[in-house]
């Protein structure tokens, strides 16, 4: 894969519908779909309509993508399917699970535009567009001279309004024939055809480097189009849309009223033709309510003919058609007449007959029933009358608002007296027949051959839902007069598919094909009310002819979410945005920031990263052609600075022809008939019809357009907008490779400087870096020529304003700058202070700025050193001639000498571990300390900041403010010795350059250095691990780092010394005593609480975690040393719980020895020649159970003898009192709790032990609350035979039996003294005893009369395994807990598969949580799932965290539960196995998400109920990580 290949990852989540989310991608990108946690393990299929290679796009044709799983099958974290995106457009994807659609969305791939004879790329952000009204270009042979103005002004794209034949109104958007070129363009001697237009477009592309786009208008056609007369079915008429009849009647009535007003017939009612005041408006309202509405009776279209309905009902009653009501919810309602005839509505007579039932068959009863029916119909009619009245009120309101705008408002067109040309209101429908009376016209409505020609006009509705078609049934827009109507255009009626209106679809398809053949792009006119399915079909047609079609549109939906629906469905390349919408310069600046670019100093993003929602690419216009002229709203002085601000935006930009010439009025798309001026370099300001660089702001525009294109081409993608004062906006564009900037300072003139006062004092500006040149300075100035007079033939602008412009000058030559000083702001930070003297309103000045030479060199060298991590840094890099010698080596070669123990120091170590060494984690002021002192502490924070470019984060602030964090990173490592110090020195050497660059760039480069170092170190860690890790998934690799995180060497050794006779033991020099000492890696139980000092190492935790964290990851030697170190501390046949370096060990747990034995077994099976460990020497710290601690080497024994001693002691029976017993050892323990007992039941072979005052298993919470009276009482004593210990013991005996048969272990059994006699119990015998008794005594039978059941009255759940057998409180045996699954994994042979499966299913239903297993059945009366160790209360069950193991969800048991399910599902059958694999993947996906999101990069000790965060838990626990690795290994 080429290194520049950009990959975006879209994580799929069940039921996530992203149709309103915009995902933008570029051609050449790879899009990967990956499964989110809700889908992992499921059989998901992703479908897309993106075409397969070599196929054509078909929107309806979806194909399934194939999955790639680069690491095999242990989990779904790396599984993906992909698209290589090579074709622009909009594409849909969706995914299904078990044939049910589960979510989906769209992606939009940008087109690649090409210009010039050499077809070079024109990036979307380089577009500078100018709109031309086509009809103002004049005869076709004169077009070149007129278009040349755009070329000379530096534009690279022309937008033509439609070039088609226009309708009667002469509006640019009312087209008489979509297929014919406007005949106005032809002259007597030369006809203009589509191919002549095409040739010009091609010439402009090749010779002028300009592209051309034009509008497509799908929504309407000119009302006088010939083809719609022949095909009236293409519009909304009274035949295909009879619901419009009431609106048509109202429209005709208003037309007749308008004609009467024009003729003065309403003067006597206070309404003359000239409407001038509120009195006249009130008269209109009165006339409509009193004369019009009563006459046209619109309500009748929605009512029932009462007499007719009663008559029909009476006949049915008399005939005896009685009904009983079938559905009590069915009430009598009016059924609308589909033909909309007056009083044509009906009611359902069946409901009527079932509702109104006469009490007898007599005539009086029937008449009474009919009266009730009639009363109900009259009520329903009255409701329809009220509803119509409500519509009529709205109609009057809307009509009067229109009259006010058109005739009275200052900003309106001031139409003058009512006439036939300017009626009271615009007609909503065409009327192509001779006028008659309203009554006569109404009769035409029912004649289909006439009614089909009454076509609804198009328009727009303020605040309407753009996804709803306002002409369809169900909308009352026409009746309520809510349409702002275009009286020259008929709205087109497509239906849902081409078959619904074949002529219209075919006609518009041809129109689209002509456009796509000759133009490089289209502007979708009136996009927000073009039916989406129509626009999709037409754009698909266009893209078949021109794949890289540039599609722009202006949307007026008022919502980004709605905008996105259009952008994603249609694949819009750019949305038109307008600076005229800004009410002040501050808002104008905000729009620049909003529409493109990233912040200055942004982080370098990895090429493989999540696909983030985007905002639509902008085509940012200073003004669009259908909006009012800025000179009218602002001032002539604002044209230059506002267009400067716009052209500094990192997106496409544009303007409208006339803006640059300072035309002081809107060039109307309807009424303007004059021609644009031609280009003539020799013209004078007053020459009619000709322009050049002296005209308006054209000279400034050329400079701005050139600059805009240069910034886009050269990668100035970072943007900073500074509001200097209320009128001055400074926009910086910055290139992240060269760190060059261009700063444009514009002083806007929203208010006319002649009539408003502007401050003389312009604030001083500080520009960081070195100003290379003034690219441009320009001021709008007045000149002495004859004032503006509107020309009759040509569109002309203000001749008395022009731009004084100077380009590429030095600061000292500037006329706008008073002086420029250089100040030093902090080390290596050069700032130029600019004082202005002539920055008048309407001026702009642009600086080209680079870093000062020293900083520029530092950045170049830094980038050179970063190339080793990513080729991205090649551009802008400089060779390093005089760097520190250490930098001559690649970081990877410096790092290659590190061990995994070194990596623990470099990457991790929490605050407690660091404090032991006299340090601590870095604390960020106003935020919080980092989780780790090593690189992971920084990387966790940066992983959150980087994707969002959150440069305002306190972390970035700290880096910009000083070098403290930078020095901390390198100095911390240098203070250590060996390979770690070398890494520190390398970092310190590269940080020398980091400190020489401007502070605003430090976060970005600090991140780049650390990301490079960090990823190198992770690869190094994995390279030192097993093939399971090296070939594993991302999830496996990230979990395996738990081994680096937990296994380390502190300042003080945590493990007892190993035998001097043992080989391969690591030694180091003690800095204080200057003597050599052993320095073995020890395993922390959890971070941060169990990481240092006496509380770091625990026998139980170590050996539950050892297989996953050390054996599966390939750390065999270190695992051996830990096993042997603990072996040296064996006393009373037990391994200590708290190790305390052996000398402070507590032998108060019954299970650690069995976990230790299980680990030795695992070591022998996993490690090559693993059984060699049995012969390794163990230096016994306690030569007898009662002896004091001895130095290593006093007494050495092979490990197998130590193992045998543990077995022997258990069979003999263990009974002792802890050394140093009393409150000094344990302030909560009661005296009896210090007495430790353990043994083996000679009948069953079960190990047992403990009493009700101590807790010898992992559920070891001791009560601490005096207030709740639980102090000194264990919450879960689990005395008797705990199920997991019985399982671990069985596993060990089975293993020792196998070894003794192979003569690898020299003992066949254990010899004990009983009743004064020596007795031998063979391992075979012991093995058979447990096998024979386990299921009989531990399984809670489903049969209530089972004779093996000692306490049937205590049974709470059947079909489960007891948690213990023989507890001092017998009910504890019957509690459902997750411990039996441990026995299932280590000794599956003692379970029958069917019973095991049943018990696992109950555990799954009752105990399985999101991340862990509930430690107690939620149905148990003492269950409480929330652990709070700080809360003291009167509640015995929870005070001081008494419920630690009575409900909270611990993570490590879930590993054993899932492994047990996996093992037994294989025995049950392939279907159950497949279901189990799905369950496991799904559960593990939640651990993956937690691991990725955790700033500790670990898995917690426990969670509260249902996976809620528990603040008292360790954030990262060794055994939690280990067991998940074990599950993945088993998969």
Question: Mean of the pLDDT values across residues 871-875?
Answer: 92
5 or 1444, greater pLDDT? 1444
Using CB atoms within 10 Å of the CB of residue 364, give its burial: 0 to 12 exposed, 13 to 18 middle, 19+ buried: exposed
Residue 566: count of CB within 10 angstroms of its CB: 23
Q: Assign 891 a pLDDT band (cuts: 50, 70, 90).
A: very high
Q: Of all residues in the chain, what percent carry a pLDDT higher than 90?
A: 85
- The span from the CA of 423 to the CA of 416, in Å, is 10
Strand 830-836 relative to strand 817-824, pairing: antiparallel
Q: Is 1159 helix (H, G, I), strand (E, B) or coil?
A: helix
Q: Are 1285 and 1279 in contact (CB under 8 A)?
A: no
pTM above 0.85, yes or no: yes
Position 624 confidence tier, pLDDT thresholds 50, 70, 90: very high
Residue 686 has pLDDT above 60, yes or no: yes
pLDDT digits over 763-814, tens only?
989 888 899 999 999 999 999 988 999 999 999 999 999 999 999 999 999 9
Residue 74 — pLDDT band, cuts 50, 70, 90? low
Judged by DSSP in three states, 589 sits in: helix
The confidence band for 586, taking pLDDT boundaries of 50, 70 and 90, is: confident
Q: What is the DSSP letter of 1131?
A: B
> Using CA of residue 575, residue 579, residue 581, residue 584, what is the dihedral sign?
positive
Instruction: Give the lowest-confidence range in 619-623, 818-822, 890-894, 1026-1030.
Output: 818-822
Region 1184-1198: mean pLDDT is: 94
Query: Mean pLDDT for the chain?
Result: 94
Closest CA to 1420 of 1432, 1436, 1406: 1406
260: its two tokens: 């009467």
What per-residue confidence (pLDDT) applies to 827? Answer: 61
Q: What is the pLDDT of residue 338?
A: 96
pLDDT at 325: 56
Condensed to tens digits (0 to 9), the pLDDT of residues 1398-1425 reads 999 999 999 999 999 999 999 999 999 9
d(CA 1151, CA 1283): 11
Could you give the CA distance from residue 1361 to residue 1283 in angstroms, rounded to a whole number?
8
Token reading at 875: 């551009």
Q: What are the distances in angstroms from CA 189 to CA 139, 186, 197, 201?
A: 11, 8, 16, 21
pLDDT at 1189: 94
Q: Minimal CA–CA distance to 474: which of 336, 366, 582?
A: 336
Q: Which two tokens stand for residue 700?
A: 């400034």
* pLDDT of residue 326 exceeding 70: no
pLDDT, residue 177, reads: 97
pLDDT at 826: 62
Q: State how far the Cα of 879 lies from the Cα of 887, in Å rounded to an integer.
A: 12
> Using 50, 70 and 90 to split pLDDT, how confident is the model at 484?
very high
Is pLDDT of 1212 > 80? yes
In the chain, how many H helices and how many E strands?
Answer: 40, 57
- 661-668: average pLDDT: 94
Residue 851: how many CA atoms within 13 Å on its side-chain side? 23
The residues annotated as belonging to the active site are 525, 528, 626
Other Cβ atoms closer than 10 A to 648: 30
Number of C-beta neighbours around residue 769 at 10 A: 22
Euclidean distance between CA atoms 110 and 1130, whole angstroms: 70
pLDDT digits (tens, 9 = 90+) for 1298-1350: 999 999 999 999 999 988 899 999 999 999 999 999 999 999 999 888 888 88
Tokens 């026998």 belong to 1099
Question: Contact 851/770 with Cβ under 8 angstroms?
Answer: yes
Distance of CA 94 to the CA centre of its chain: 17
CB count within 10 Å of CB 948 equals 10
Mean pLDDT, residues 1363-1391: 97
Q: What would the mean pLDDT of 1193-1204 be, rounded to a whole number?
A: 97
3 state SS for 426-440: CCCECCCCCCCCHHH
Check the CA dihedral 778-782-786-792 and report its sign. Answer: positive
Q: Quick check: 3 pLDDT over 60?
A: no
Q: Give the pLDDT confidence of 979-1009 residue by residue, as tens digits.
A: 999 999 999 999 999 999 999 999 999 999 9
- How far, in Å, CA of 843 to CA of 474, rounded? 55
Q: Is the pLDDT of residue 1 over 70?
A: no
The pLDDT-based confidence of 1369 (bands split at 50, 70, 90) is very high
Sign of CA dihedral 1415, 1421, 1426, 1430: negative
Sign for the CA dihedral angle at 2, 3, 6, 9 comes to positive
Sign of CA dihedral 244, 249, 254, 258: positive
- What digits encode the pLDDT tens for the residues 1476-1523? 998 999 899 999 999 999 999 999 999 999 999 999 999 999 999 999
**Placement of tokens 């391969």 in the chain:** 1064
Task: Answer whether 1095's CB lies under 8 Å from 1139's CB.
Answer: no
Greatest CA separation found in the chain? 136
Identify the pLDDT of residue 324.
60
How many beta carbons lie within 10 A of that of residue 49, not counting itself? 18
Closest by CA position to 445, among listed 339, 336, 343: 339
Residue 411: pLDDT above 90?
no
* Residues 1207-1229, mean pLDDT to the nearest whole number: 95
User: Can you give the pLDDT at residue 464?
Assistant: 83
């Amino acid at each position: 894969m080429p290194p520049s290949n950009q990959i975006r990852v879209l994580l799929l989540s069940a039921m996530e519908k992203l149709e309103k989310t915009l995902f933008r991608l570029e051609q050449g990108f790879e899009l990967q779909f990956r499964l989110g946690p809700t889908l992992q393990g499921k059989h998901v299929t992703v479908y897309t309509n993106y075409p397969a290679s070599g196929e054509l796009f078909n929107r309806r044709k979806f194909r399934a993508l194939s999955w790639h799983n680069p690491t095999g099958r242990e989990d779904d974290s790396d599984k993906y399917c992909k698209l290589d995106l090579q074709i622009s457009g909009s594409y849909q994807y969706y995914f299904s699970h078990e044939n049910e659609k589960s979510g989906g969305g769209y992606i939009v791939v940008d087109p690649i535009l090409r210009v010039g004879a050499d077809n070079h790329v024109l990036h979307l952000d380089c577009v500078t567009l100018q709109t031309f009204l086509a009809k103002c270009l004049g005869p076709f042979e004169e077009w070149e001279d007129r278009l040349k103005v755009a070329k000379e002004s530096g534009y690279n794209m022309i937008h033509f309004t439609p070039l088609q034949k226009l309708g009667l109104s002469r509006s640019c958007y009312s087209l008489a024939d979509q297929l014919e070129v406007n005949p106005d363009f032809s002259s007597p001697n030369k006809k203009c055809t589509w191919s002549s237009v095409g040739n010009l477009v091609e010439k402009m592309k090749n010779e002028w480097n300009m592209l051309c786009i034009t509008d497509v208008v799908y929504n309407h056609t000119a009302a006088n189009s010939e083809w719609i007369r022949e095909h009236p079915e293409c519009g909304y008429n009274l035949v295909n849309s009879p619901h419009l009849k009431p609106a048509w009647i109202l429209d005709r009535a208003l037309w007749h009223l308008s004609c009467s007003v024009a003729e003065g017939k309403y003067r006597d009612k206070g309404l003359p033709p000239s409407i001038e005041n509120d009195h006249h408006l009130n008269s209109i309202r009165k006339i409509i309510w009193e004369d019009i509405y009563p006459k046209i009776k619109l309500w009748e279209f929605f009512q029932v003919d009462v007499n007719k309905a009663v008559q029909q009902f009476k006949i049915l009653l008399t005939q005896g058609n009685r009904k009983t009501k079938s559905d009590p919810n069915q009430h009598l309602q009016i059924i609308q007449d589909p033909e909309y005839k007056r009083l044509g509505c009906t009611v359902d007579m069946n409901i009527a007959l079932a509702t109104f039932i006469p009490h007898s068959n007599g005539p009086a009863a029937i008449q009474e029933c009919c009266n009730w029916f009639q009363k109900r119909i009259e009520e329903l009619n009255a409701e329809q009358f009220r509803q119509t009245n409500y519509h009529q009120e709205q109609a009057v309101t809307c009509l009067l608002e229109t009259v006010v705008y058109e005739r009275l408002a200052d900003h309106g067109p001031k139409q003058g007296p009512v006439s036939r040309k300017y009626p009271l209101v615009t007609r909503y429908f065409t009327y192509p027949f001779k006028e008659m009376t309203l009554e006569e016209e109404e009769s035409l409505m029912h004649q289909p051959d006439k009614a089909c020609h009454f076509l609804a006009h198009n328009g727009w509705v303020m605040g309407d839902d753009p996804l709803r078609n306002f002409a369809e049934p169900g909308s009352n827009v026409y009746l309520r007069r809510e349409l702002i109507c275009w009286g020259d255009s008929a709205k087109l009626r497509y239906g849902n598919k081409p078959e619904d209106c074949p002529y219209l679809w075919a006609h518009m398809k041809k129109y689209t094909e002509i456009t796509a053949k000759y133009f490089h792009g289209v502007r979708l006119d009136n996009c927000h009310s073009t039916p989406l399915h129509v626009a999709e079909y037409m754009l698909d047609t266009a893209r078949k002819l021109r794949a890289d079609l540039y599609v722009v549109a202006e949307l007026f939906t008022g919502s980004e979410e709605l905008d996105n629906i259009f952008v994603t469905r249609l694949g819009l390349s750019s949305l038109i945005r307008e600076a005229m919408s800004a009410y002040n310069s501050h808002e104008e600046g905000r729009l620049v920031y909003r529409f493109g670019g990233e912040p200055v100093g942004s982080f370098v993003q990895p090429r493989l990263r999540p696909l983030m929602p985007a905002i639509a690419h902008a085509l940012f216009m200073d003004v669009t052609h259908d909006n009012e002229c800025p000179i009218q709203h602002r001032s002539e002085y604002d044209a230059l600075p506002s267009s400067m601000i716009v052209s500094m935006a990192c997106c496409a930009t544009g303007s409208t022809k006339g803006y640059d010439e300072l035309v002081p009025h809107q060039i109307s798309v309807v009424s303007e008939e004059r021609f644009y001026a031609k280009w003539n370099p020799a013209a004078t300001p007053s020459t009619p019809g000709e322009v050049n660089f002296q005209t308006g702001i054209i000279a400034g525009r050329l400079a701005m357009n050139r600059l805009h294109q240069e910034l886009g081409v050269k990668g100035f993608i970072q943007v900073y907008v500074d509001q200097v004062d209320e009128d001055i906006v400074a926009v910086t564009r910055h290139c992240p490779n060269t760190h060059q900037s261009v700063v444009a300072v514009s002083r806007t003139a929203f208010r006319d400087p002649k009539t408003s006062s502007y401050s003389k004092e312009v604030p001083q500006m500080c520009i960081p870096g070195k100003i290379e040149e003034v690219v441009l300075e320009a001021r709008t100035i007045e000149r002495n020529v004859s004032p503006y007079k509107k020309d009759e033939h040509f569109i002309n602008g203000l001749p008395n304003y022009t731009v004084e412009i100077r380009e590429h000058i030095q600061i000292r030559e500037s006329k706008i700058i008073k002086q420029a000083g250089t100040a030093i702001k902090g080390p290596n930070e050069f700032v130029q202070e600019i004082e202005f003297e002539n920055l008048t309103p309407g001026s702009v000045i642009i600086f080209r700025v680079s870093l000062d030479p020293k900083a520029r060199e530092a950045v170049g060298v830094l980038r050179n050193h970063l190339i080793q991590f990513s080729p991205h840094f090649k551009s802008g890099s400089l060779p390093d001639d005089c760097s520190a010698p250490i930098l001559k080596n690649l970081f990877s070669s410096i790092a290659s000498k590190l061990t995994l123990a070194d990596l623990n120091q470099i990457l991790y170590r929490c605050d407690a571990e660091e404090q032991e060494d006299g340090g601590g984690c870095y604390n960020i002021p106003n935020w919080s300390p980092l989780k780790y002192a090593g690189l992971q502490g920084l990387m966790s924070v940066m992983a959150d900041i980087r994707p969002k470019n959150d440069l305002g984060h306190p972390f970035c602030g700290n880096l910009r403010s000083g070098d403290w964090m930078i020095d901390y990173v390198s100095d911390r490592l240098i203070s250590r010795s060996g390979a770690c110090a070398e890494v520190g020195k390398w970092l310190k050497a590269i940080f020398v350059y980091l400190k020489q660059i401007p502070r605003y760039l430090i976060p970005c480069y600090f991140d780049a250095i650390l990301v490079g170092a960090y990823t190198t170190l992770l690869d190094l860690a994995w390279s030192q691990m097993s093939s399971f890790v090296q070939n594993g998934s991302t999830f496996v690799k990230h979990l395996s780092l738990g081994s680096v995180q937990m296994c380390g060497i502190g300042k003080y050794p945590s493990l007892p010394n190993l035998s001097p006779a043992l080989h391969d033991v690591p030694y180091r020099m003690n800095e204080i005593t200057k003597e050599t000492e052993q320095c073995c890696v020890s395993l922390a139980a959890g971070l941060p609480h169990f990481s240092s000092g006496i509380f770091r190492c625990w026998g139980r935790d170590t050996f539950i975690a050892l297989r996953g964290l050390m054996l599966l990851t390939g750390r065999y030697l270190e695992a051996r040393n830990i096993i042997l170190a603990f072996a040296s501390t064996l006393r009373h046949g037990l391994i200590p719980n708290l190790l305390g370096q052996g000398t402070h060990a507590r032998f108060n747990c019954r299970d650690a020895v069995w976990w230790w034995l299980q680990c030795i077994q695992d070591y022998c099976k996993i490690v090559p020649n693993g059984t060699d460990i049995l012969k390794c020497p163990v230096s016994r710290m306690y030569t007898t159970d009662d002896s004091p601690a001895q130095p290593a080497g006093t007494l050495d024994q092979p490990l197998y003898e130590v193992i045998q001693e543990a077995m022997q002691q258990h069979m003999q029976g263990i009974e002792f009192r802890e050394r140093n017993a009393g409150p000094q050892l344990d302030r909560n323990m009661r005296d009896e709790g210090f007495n430790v007992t353990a043994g083996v039941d000679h009948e069953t072979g079960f190990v047992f032990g403990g009493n009700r005052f101590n807790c010898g298993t992992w559920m070891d919470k001791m009560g601490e609350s005096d207030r709740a009276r639980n102090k000194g009482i264990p919450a879960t004593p689990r005395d008797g035979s705990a199920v997991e210990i019985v399982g671990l013991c069985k596993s060990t005996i089975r293993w020792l039996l196998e070894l003794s048969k192979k003569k690898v272990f020299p003992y066949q059994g254990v010899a004990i003294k009983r009743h004064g006699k020596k007795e031998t119990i063979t391992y075979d015998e012991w093995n058979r005893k447990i096998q024979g008794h386990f299921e009989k005594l531990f399984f809670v039978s489903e049969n209530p009369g089972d004779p093996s059941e000692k306490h049937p009255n205590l049974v709470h759940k059947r079909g489960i395994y007891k948690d213990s057998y023989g507890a001092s409180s017998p009910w504890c045996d019957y509690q459902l807990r997750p411990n039996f699954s441990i026995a299932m994994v280590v000794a599956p042979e003692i379970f029958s598969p069917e019973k095991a499966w049943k018990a696992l299913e109950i555990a799954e239903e009752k105990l399985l949580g999101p991340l862990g297993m509930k430690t107690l059945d939620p149905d148990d009366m003492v269950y409480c799932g929330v652990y709070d160790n700080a809360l003291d209360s009167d509640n015995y069950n929870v005070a001081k965290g008494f419920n630690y193991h009575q409900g909270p969800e611990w993570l490590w048991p879930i590993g054993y539960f899932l492994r047990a399910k996996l093992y037994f599902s294989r025995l049950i059958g392939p279907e159950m196995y497949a279901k189990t694999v799905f369950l496991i993947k799904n559960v593990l996906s939640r651990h993956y998400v937690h691991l990725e999101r955790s700033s500790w990069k670990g898995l917690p000790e426990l969670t509260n109920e249902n996976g809620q965060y528990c603040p008292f838990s360790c954030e990262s626990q060794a055994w939690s990580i280990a067991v998940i690795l074990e599950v993945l290994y088993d998969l």
